[in-house]
Amino acid sequence: MGVRSAASGARASTPSPASAATSAAARVARTLEWQIATVTAITTETARAKTFTLELPAWRAHRAGQHYDVRLTAEDGYQAQRSYSIASEPERAGEVDLTVELISDGEVSAYMHEVLVPGDRIEVRGPIGGYFVWEASDPGALGLVAGGSGVVPLMAMLRHRAAAGGRQPAVLLYSARIADDVIYAGELERIAAAQDGVRVVRTLTRGAPEGWTGYTRRIDAEMLREVLGPLGAEVRVFVCGPTLLVESVADALVGIGVPAARIKTERFGPTGS
């Protein structure tokens, strides 16, 4: 799209003074106000995924699993708006990381990948979402199931668990097409090696390198039983990724006996991987 400036025509919202008396309604209203973030860093995660660090004038601590909306405005006033999950932990004040996968011909993801550079300003609002969220104080084991960029909000949960000193057992089951598509690969290896209660299991659906020890097929009921079974009956499961993956995983989880009330899902888009 012919975007003149990501922040064009927008006004930054004014941070309200923190006050114990601030009502929940006022907090929601502020969350829905647009503000102008500054891109302070862009990190290449994979050939198709980049992390954008955004400094926020009206930063508010988010809950792991929430997202921000990004809005672009073109010369002629045309606007495109998309949601991006927060990848960073809430303990990091003043800024958030968004990890965006490049979608071929995608309006907003392509702009972010191909046009944005550090120092640019971009219009965002958030943090948004109160359902697909996890707090380190939540009891019970944590089962995380991701497809592709669906790993982003689940990474926020793992980072939050680490920053808050959470001790509950956790497993991340992460499906990617090929090894080079695995986002946060190095950090996930370090998390798994730390042996502090987090297990990382990967599955590749389009070919694995020699010596690969993970799974090599789409996530199915048998895999879910093997990977999540050891977490026990009290597990809370978060599933995120392309719509088809999320729906098939949610069905399979119910099929292996996980109560629907313990499964939370977030769908990123129309296609499957």
Ligand X SMILES: Cc1cc2nc3c(=O)[nH]c(=O)nc-3n(C[C@H](O)[C@H](O)[C@H](O)COP(=O)(O)OP(=O)(O)OC[C@H]3O[C@@H](n4cnc5c(N)ncnc54)[C@H](O)[C@@H]3O)c2cc1C
Residues that bind ligand X (CB under 6 A): 67, 82-85, 99-101, 103, 105-110, 149, 152, 242, 266, 268-271
Of 104 and 213, which has the nearer Cβ to ligand X?
Answer: 104
CB of 6 to ligand X, least distance (A): 13
Interhelix angle for 151-164 vs 185-194, to 10°? 40
Which tokens sit at 126?
A: 């958030």
Residues 252 and 220 sit within 8 Å (Cβ to Cβ): yes
CB of 249 to ligand X, least distance (A): 16
Of 132 and 215, which has the nearer Cβ to ligand X?
Answer: 132
CB of 48 to ligand X, least distance (A): 9
Of 89 and 266, which has the nearer Cβ to ligand X?
Answer: 266
Residues 38 and 119 sit within 8 Å (Cβ to Cβ): yes
CB of 257 to ligand X, least distance (A): 28
Of 143 and 242, which has the nearer Cβ to ligand X?
Answer: 242
CB of 178 to ligand X, least distance (A): 16
Of 134 and 141, which has the nearer Cβ to ligand X?
Answer: 134
Measured from the Cβ of residue 37, the count of other Cβ atoms closer than 10 Å reads 29
Residues 215 and 201 sit within 8 Å (Cβ to Cβ): yes
Measured from the Cβ of residue 120, the count of other Cβ atoms closer than 10 Å reads 17
The rounded distance, in Å, linking the Cα atoms of 124 and 245 is: 28
- Find where tokens 């042996």 sit: 195
Q: What angle do CA 84, 90, 94 make, to 5 degrees?
A: 85
